[in-house]
Structure 1
Amino acid sequence: MNDVIVIGCGPAGLSGAIACVTYGLKVTIMDEFMKPGGRLLGQLHQEPTGDWWNGIKVSEQLYQQALNLGVNIRCGVSVYNLEKEDQMWKVYTSIGTFEAPFLLLATGAAEYPIPVPGWTLPGVMSIGAAQVMTNVHRVQIGKKGIIIGANILSFAILKELQLAGITVNHVVLPEKNAFSQNAGVPEEVMKSLLNAAHLAPSPLLRFGSSFMKNNWIRKMGLTFYPKKGMKVNGTPLLLRKAAVEIIGEDQVEGVRVIDIDINGNPIPGTESTYEVDFVCIAGGLYPLAELASVAGCPFQFIPELGGHVPHHSESMETPLPGLFVAGNITGIESGKIAIAQGTIAGLSIVKHARKGNNSIDNQLQQAIQNVHSVRKQAIIKFNPDIELGRSKMNELWESLYVKNETPGKMTG
């Protein structure tokens, strides 16, 4: 008999399970991937201190800690339905049905697809797939390639590909359409990238970026943006070129691009072709929250959090008794935030299960403060206005479930 079922064996799920089992709760984690770790498995970057953040090592540490504490970990298991019956959550999976009074959804994030003509050719993949193939499976995805989509995620993984000895010749924008939206508009892309200017490899770029936050100067800068682009870790970022088509017979052979104006509109007669053998499409991330919807949890669209997110408090509880969330399902942030949120969710479950001692409230508040601290120290923010997004959700929770004391809200 499980006390807690955790869906998602990434950083949030593992840390949440550890917090629960530490207080004597019986926990089972399920994940459809064959290995524990979630998106941690592909992460590799250098911290400002010079130390390396190795996601594989971090995930292994969390996994071993969970195992040693007695967490039951089931990988390769798909969950397709959730139901609440009396006081129990019923979890329908590919290996049978499980029950528990408490359920933690830590399902993470997925990538926005941006369709590009020719994207079904062998050698075309999402930027996240390139990260997993390179860092997890140790597969060389190609010899020379191109990234379609300029965002924080694509630049983080660009560096990882370069560390693996893989050459990325250019970063271009997707063609502006209903699917790409702002990702195909140079000025909007520039705005988003300026929020990560402190990561620029050149002091000149870091200095110049402060001026580019002025609307007029930014428009001038884009108008006269170098045709050969500006280099990011040695790879030209071409903000005034958009991918029109991926070409090839049996595999990727090249990408046809066209010059665009600062609003993303194509300039006739400016087409050219880059020869490459792989293409990575980077559309960004959104919360993978379908299971919360299946469970009946209400949602709110908050762009600063990455899209539609389930209603939740700072304690990671939802309006549905016994249902908790943590990690990127609540908004797109780093693996460190996911670990910290998982701890909050675990402690919240302990509190609601009445298993903690008198200090559990203090520990919970400390865990919440830790999330704020980790967020302030974050080097990379996938959504620059994440604090605003979190404030919106906190205000929504207060107005709907605290002030009005809506029936169904959990109490400690």
Structure 2
Amino acid sequence: MTQTTTVNTCDLLIIGAGPAGLKAAQIASAAGLSVWLADENPLPGGQLLRQVTQSPFANPQTLFGEEYSARRSLAEVAFSPRVRYLARTAVWQVTPEKQAYLLEQGESPRQHIVQARFILLATGAQERSFPLPGWTLPGAMTVGAAQLLNEISGIVTPCGQHSGGQRPTVATVRRTGDPRGRPNSSGAGHHAPAGLLVGTTTLAEGITSYLARSVQRHQATARTATR
């Protein structure tokens, strides 16, 4: 049951604390704007940076590479004193006047009414799986399931796995090596999402460049129009 309701104002309300929302919060707060950042998950990072601030691995750099610290630095923007971060929070209504109603879950749930000058929707990535022959057999799983094993449960998917698709979530699983430091044999490398726009002019170009660099780094074989 909701215990309290608070009414607040801010310059920018960002809905979603994945890489896009975090980068927006970083830029806006550095420019002096008051920023609220709301996300339904318990930690910032979204699908691509899931659990990066509290990795289950003792040495996550070994598995996720030298740019792990850059990704963690981006996620820690949520804890900046210039950003009001609300975890486990659902945004259930936004009015045409840019007034948003937020429900923060917890032992004592609270409802926030936020009057914002601007609202940014950064709802992020989601898995788009489709059934294939044999996809229910032991050892077959969706990319989202493999990502949960890696980044939350601390279980490394084995080398030699084969994955399909070109979405950023696929690249995050492919980049993972084994405890001996070998990259996944089917895997592409990893680059910090904070660098997606380096040398590019649009987000779409940045994501395309990011995936291309990932494939080239580990010399992964890319197949298109595969049946």
TM bin, normalised by shorter chain, reads: 0.5 to 0.7
Aligned to 2:15: 7
SS in 2 for 1:84: coil
What amino acid does structure 2 have at the position aligned with 1:101? R
Aligned to 1:372: 201
Aligned to 2:153: 137
Relative distance call for 1:157 and 1:165 in structure 2 (3 A) is farther
Aligned to 2:91: 79
Choose between structure 1 and 2: higher helix proportion: 1
Aligned to 2:119: 103
Aligned to 2:57: none
What amino acid does structure 1 have at the position aligned with 2:131? P
What amino acid does structure 1 have at the position aligned with 2:66? W
SS in 1 for 2:13: strand
Q: CA deviation at 1:147?
A: 3.7
Q: CA deviation at 1:117?
A: 6.2
Q: Does 1:31 align with 2:39?
A: yes
Q: Relative CO higher for 1 or 2, CA cutoff 8 Å, sep ≥ 6?
A: 2
SS in 2 for 1:40: coil
SS in 1 for 2:32: coil
What amino acid does structure 1 have at the position aligned with 2:128? Y
Q: CA deviation at 1:106?
A: 1.4
1:70 to 73, 82, 94: 82
Q: CA deviation at 1:110?
A: 1.0
Highest Rg: 1 or 2?
1
Aligned equivalents of 1:156 and 1:62: distance in 2?
A: 16
Relative distance call for 1:337 and 1:110 in structure 2 (3 A) is farther
Is contact 2:91-2:103 (8 Å) kept? yes
Relative distance call for 1:18 and 1:148 in structure 2 (3 A) is closer
SS in 1 for 2:28: helix
Aligned to 2:164: 149
Aligned equivalents of 1:69 and 1:163: distance in 2?
A: 37
Aligned to 1:276: none
Aligned to 2:194: 336
Aligned alpha-carbon RMSD (Å): 4.4
Q: CA deviation at 1:102?
A: 1.3
Is contact 2:67-2:192 (8 Å) kept? no
SS in 1 for 2:141: strand
Is contact 1:81-1:93 (8 Å) kept? no
Relative distance call for 1:159 and 1:165 in structure 2 (3 A) is farther
Within a 5 Å distance, the mapping from 1:202-213 to structure 2 comes to none
Q: CA deviation at 1:13?
A: 1.4
- Superposed CA deviations along residues 17-61 of structure 1, whole A, max 9, x for unmatched, are 232233433221111121112212479999xxxx7221xx33432
Structure 2: gaps spanning 5 or more residues: 1-7, 53-59, 106-110, 214-227
Q: Does 1:21 align with 2:36?
A: no
TM-score by length of 2: 0.59
Choose between structure 1 and 2: higher strand proportion: 1
Is contact 2:71-2:193 (8 Å) kept? no
Is contact 1:2-1:28 (8 Å) kept? no
Within a 5 Å distance, the mapping from 1:246-261 to structure 2 comes to none
Aligned equivalents of 2:149 and 2:81: distance in 1?
A: 31
Aligned equivalents of 2:135 and 2:172: distance in 1?
A: 22
Aligned equivalents of 1:376 and 1:121: distance in 2?
A: 32
Aligned equivalents of 2:37 and 2:185: distance in 1?
A: 42
- Superposed CA deviations along residues 86-140 of structure 1, whole A, max 9, x for unmatched, are xx33244455243223111112111212124675678653213312421343124
Q: CA deviation at 1:6?
A: 0.8
Aligned equivalents of 2:36 and 2:201: distance in 1?
A: 28
SS in 2 for 1:336: helix
What amino acid does structure 1 have at the position aligned with 2:206? R
Identity %: 26
